[in-house]
């Protein structure tokens, strides 16, 4: 085996960690994306609560175009630069993503139906304000969780 | 457990940086590697060619519209060599009592 001073080996390992972290950070969905999706949810809900075909049609159009634009921008500017290796995100990551989606959708729908049953005006809008805020705050938390999982699964991880 | 084998081809700083980036990726865009490592186009091409000759890297050139897009990935041989190299470095560090703080 090559006789390399331990200090040099440690520096090389630190460099490997730093470079792999760079790829993982590149593939992390930015915080603004989650807040955008949350805001678009509210726009859609306003259309639903207004109950006029024109408002609903406009809200659906804004929602679809906004979601496609935001997703397209993130995919184009980040994911196409470096596609993450399979295996970095293990079962825990998949559970975290599915759990996050299920929690947001379940809580938002449950709250909307509850408010509607209670006779509160604009139930979908109010529920989506709560759901959208949870999306913005939870999205950042989800990304931190996924990043931690991926850093733990990279080659040479000390965890 | 991965066998430890120090790899002289991977270890030089520039190639170590390139291979480390590729190790976390399925495919990485040429520009992304170039900008991340801070190399010129020609310098990166030269390093990738060396790694490709060794069978460690596969280069893919596709056209997106009319623009060529070059990306690279580690081959299974390259990935195995990288993991063995990391294991060798870890052995050297472990033998000395040094630690690498997780970030």
Render pLDDT for B3-36 as a digit per residue (tens, 0 to 9). 899 999 999 999 999 999 999 999 999 999 999 9
Contacts of A77 in chain B (CB under 8 A): none
Which of B73, B92, B101 should one mutate to test binding to chain A, selecting the residue with the greatest count of A CBs within 10 A? B92
Half-sphere exposure of A113 (CA within 13 A, CB side): 5
Interface ipTM? 0.86
Cβ–Cβ below 8 Å for B86 and A151? no
Minimum-distance CB partner of A23 among B24, B86, B103: B24
Q: A87 to chain B: nearest residue by CA?
A: B24
**pLDDT at residue B98 is higher than 80:** no
Question: Strand order in B67-74's β-sheet?
Answer: A82-84, B25-29, B67-74, B57-64
Classify residue B48 as exposed, middle or buried by CB count within 10 Å of its CB (0-12, 13-18, 19+): buried
CB A46, CB B51: distance < 8 Å: no
- Token pair for residue A63? 């929602």
The chain-wide mean pLDDT, for chain B, equals 90
Does this model's pTM top 0.90? My answer is no
Interface subset of A 53-112, CB within 8 angstroms of B: 80-86, 88
Cβ–Cβ below 8 Å for A16 and B20? yes
Minimum-distance CB partner of B100 among A10, A80, A86: A10
**pLDDT at residue B102 is higher than 70:** no
- State which H helix or E strand residue B8 sits in: none
To the nearest 10°, report the CA torsion of B19, B34, A153, A70: -160
Alpha helices (runs of H) in A51-122, residue ranges in sequence order: 53-74, 91-117
Confidence band, pLDDT 50/70/90 cuts, at residue B101: low
- State which H helix or E strand residue B49 sits in: helix B41-53
Q: How far apart are CA B78 and CA B57, in angstroms?
A: 6
User: Which of A65-74, A125-134, B62-71, B94-103 has the lowest average pLDDT?
Assistant: B94-103
- Give chain A's residues under pLDDT 50: none
**Which is more confidently placed, B103 or A50?**
A50
Query: Residue B103 has what pLDDT?
Result: 47
**Which is more confidently placed, B100 or A108?**
A108
Contacts of B64 in chain A (CB under 8 A): none
Query: Residue A125 has what pLDDT?
Result: 95
């Amino acid at each position: 085996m090559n006789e390399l001073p331990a200090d040099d080996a440690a520096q090389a390992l630190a460099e490997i960690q730093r470079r792999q972290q760079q790829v993982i950070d590149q593939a992390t969905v930015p915080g603004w994306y989650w807040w955008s999706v949350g805001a678009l949810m509210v726009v859609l809900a306003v259309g639903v609560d207004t109950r006029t075909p024109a408002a609903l049609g406009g809200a659906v159009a804004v929602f679809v175009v906004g979601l496609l634009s935001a997703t397209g921008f993130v995919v184009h500017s980040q994911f196409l630069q470096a596609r993450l290796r399979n295996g970095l995100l293990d079962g825990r990551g998949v559970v975290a993503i599915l759990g996050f989606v299920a929690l947001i959708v379940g809580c938002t729908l449950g709250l909307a139906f509850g408010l509607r049953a209670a006779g509160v005006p604009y139930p979908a809008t109010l529920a989506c304000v709560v759901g959208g805020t949870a999306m913005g705050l939870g999205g950042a938390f989800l990304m931190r969780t996924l990043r931690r999982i991926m850093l733990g699964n990279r080659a040479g991880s000390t965890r | 457990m991965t066998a430890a084998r120090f790899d002289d081809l991977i270890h030089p700083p520039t190639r170590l940086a390139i291979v480390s980036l590729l190790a976390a990726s399925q495919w990485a865009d040429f520009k992304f590697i170039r900008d991340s490592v801070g190399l010129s186009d020609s310098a990166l091409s030269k390093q990738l060619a060396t790694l490709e000759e060794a069978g460690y890297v596969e280069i893919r050139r596709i056209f997106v519209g009319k623009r060529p897009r070059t990306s690279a990935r580690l081959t299974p041989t390259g990935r195995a060599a990288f993991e063995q190299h990391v294991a060798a470095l870890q052995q050297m560090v472990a033998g000395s009592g040094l630690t690498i703080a997780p970030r």
